[in-house]
Structure formats: C-alpha cells, structure tokens
Structure 1
Amino acid sequence: MRHIQKFSLRWSDMDSYGHVNSVQVVRLYEEARVSLLFRVARSAGVTSFEEGLITARHEIDYYRPLQYLLNPDHPGSFPTVRIESWIENIKAAQFTFMCEMYKDWDLTGRARSLCVPYIVSTNSLRRLTPAERSFLQSYVHHPDPPRTEEESCYSKRIHTSN
C-alpha cells in the first residue's frame, strides 16, 4: 500500500529560474517521511519511531524540473504536489523509505531514504521492534522499475544525515 499526501508549494520554495529549489524538494520528501513514520504510525499505535530514527542515506532522482506555477482558473490557490510513499527492504535494523513526487499527473522525481532506528540516550543503533516491522510491512509496495538516468532530465544524489 502507498501513503498518499498533498503538499502546497510556497512562493519562497522557488529559485530564480521559477523552479522549486532542490533544498525545498528535500524538505517536501522529509515532510512525507514524517507524516507516515510519525503521524500515521502513531495513529496505528506505533510511537517508537518518534524516540529516534535517523536517515543514513538519502538519494533523489530528478526527472523534470518542478515549476511553481499559479493556476489562473483558481486565483488565491497555491500549487500543490502529491507525494506517494512506501517501504522497501525491511531488514533487522534498517529499512528503505521510498517516495515519488507528482505535479498534476507528471512524475517529477523519486527519493530513497535509508532509515535506521536510533536510541538517542545511548547514541546507538537498535533493531526494529515487531510492532514497527508489522507497521512497515503494511506499506511495502513494489512499484514499476525505476527510470534509468538516460530517461531523467537530470539526476542528483544527496548524502546527508539528520
């Protein structure tokens, strides 16, 4: 199953070319990750992700520029994107959080985040609990094969930890 959420773009997300800045794209992917792993997980009774979860790796493939365009038919409304999220590769102490971002019905990019449960008080990694594993398993989805770099407008990999 995929978790689907819409996000409004902000005027300040735009760069000098009228595209949504790549830093803001990362922020949107993070908001989708937080939505599923904290908000939705909490409503399912799983609160342990809130105690510590780090991003060990983050990769983004950009397939087309994401433009900030107002809709003249709906004055006062902000442009939105749809982010679809799911889980892949659940292992003992890590999992991959996947996202696809759509503007209207156009796929603009795909992100992969390697997430690792973490104990803040001891500064150490930990294994997934059975409840976490069960929650994540309900969001395992096998999408279409990823696009190749030749199919994307440009590809950029970002390595960060938070």
Structure 2
Amino acid sequence: MPTPRSRRASRTASSPATSGRLERRVSRDRSPDRRRNPPLDVSRGESTARAHVDLELRWGDQDAYGHVNNVAYARYLEEARVRVFFTGAAREQTGMEGYFRGDRPDGPKMLVASQQIEFLGVLEYTSHPIVVELWVGKLGGSSLELHYEVLDGSAADRRVVARAITTVVIVDGATMRPIRLSEDGRAAVEPWTDAPLQLRRG
C-alpha cells in the first residue's frame, strides 16, 4: 500500500522526467568512500552478534509515490534468510548454513510460521544497497525467532527504516513435522543471538 507522505504523481521509467530523476539520484549516490561490503562500524551501533546482508534495490520496488513499497520488504527479509541460512552469502561467515539447507529430501527444512513488519520511515530508490541485520532473538526447541533491522544504506548515520520478526519452524523434510534442532545446529545458532526487538502492537 503506498505511504501518504509524498504527493508526487507516478511517472513511467521511460519518461524524461523520471530518467532525469534517476540520473540525479545515481550520480549523487556515487561517493568514492562507499564500499559494497564495508566492515562493521560499532560506533554506528552495528552488532557483532548480527549477520549483515547487503541487498541492491530495484527500480520496480517503488510504488506510485516513488517510495519502496511495503511488499518489497517481505522479499528483502526472505533474501536475507536465504543468504544467511542457505547460501552463506552474508558479510560474515556464520556457519549456520550447514544445518537448514534441506539438500536431502528427508533433510531439515525451515518453514515460516508467522511474520510481523514495523515500518519506521520512507525508503527511496538509491544505488546504495540496503543493509538487513539479522539475528536470533529467541531460540526454541524446534523454532527460531528471527529478528531484523533494515537500514538505509544511503544515510550518513545509522537509519533504521523497518524492523521485523519472523518465527520459523524446523521440520523433517519427509514428514513435514517439527523436529528439534540438533546439538550442532544449536551450537551454530547461539553465537548469533542478540536482544529481541519489542515491536509495537495493534
């Protein structure tokens, strides 16, 4: 659903006005001291207990107001989970990808049971990747409560534009019934636990 903060009329990507707007944004975003995978900056509040995933924004992620649509955030969270738990493509080598891949038909699989997203600010298209911080806020017997903060990669200071919590359940690939985390899997997850978020309710 579009956010009401801006009243700009929608324009197609092929229109001169839109093309000029994109060129101005991209040229403004190209600063020489930016790196694709920067190290953690503890002074900005980046925690060593969180995995960091850098994701490029897409022009099609915008809504009619020129803001990143709220539907796109669910895809960002999904991609962050895939990179942390399946491909091991976060900034950090977490070691968690070896226990939730489900490469075998009867191997463990991760299913989403619930998800809540809280939007804190408007995010506009930029050439800088956003940063999704992911950590385990709660560790259960057969479930993980994954917590996220989505950061505006173009901001000079730490700017959180969304927070989210996803509850995932680990199931047997053959029976699709919940199974307990293995001891090795639990040991891999525990270093990536951090204080849980407290989202607004209602």
Relative to the length of structure 1, the TM-score reads: 0.78
Which ranges in structure 1 are unaligned for 5 or more consecutive residues?
A: 71-77, 150-154, 156-162
Paired residues of 1:46 and 1:132 also in contact (CA < 8 A): no
| Aligned counterparts of 1:87 and 1:116: Cα–Cα separation in 2 | 13
Question: Structure 2 counterpart of 1:114, which letter?
Answer: T
Correspondence for 2:135: 86
How far does the alpha carbon of each residue in 1:59-100 deviate from its partner, in whole angstroms, 9 at most, with x for none? 1011112222x4xxxxxxx23211111101111111101110
The residue that corresponds to 2:95 in the other structure is 44
Residue 59 of structure 2 corresponds to residue 11 of structure 1: yes
Partner AA of 2:120 in structure 1: Y
Q: Secondary structure, in 3 states, of the residue corresponding to 1:65?
A: coil
Residue 115 of structure 1 aligns to a residue whose secondary structure is strand
With normalisation by structure 2, the TM-score equals 0.63
Task: Tell me: higher relative CO, structure 1 or 2? Use CA pairs within 8 A at least 6 residues apart.
Answer: 1
Structure-2 separation of matches of 1:43 and 1:110: 21
User: Is the Cα–Cα contact under 8 Å of residues 83 and 99 in structure 1 kept in the other structure?
Assistant: yes
The equivalent of 1:22 in structure 2 is 70
Q: How many residues are aligned here?
A: 141
| Rg (Cα) greater in structure | 2
1:83–1:101 Cα contact (<8 Å) kept: yes
In structure 2, what is the Cα distance between the partners aligned to 1:43 and 1:63?
28
Tell me which stretches of 4 or more aligned residues in structure 1 moved more than 2 Å: 39-48, 145-149
Pairwise CA distance, 1:31: 0.9
Consecutive unaligned residues of structure 2, counting only runs of 5 or more, are: 1-48, 103-108
Separation in structure 2 between the aligned mates of residue 110 and residue 21 of structure 1, nearest angstrom:
15
Q: Which structure's residues are more often strand, by fraction?
A: 1
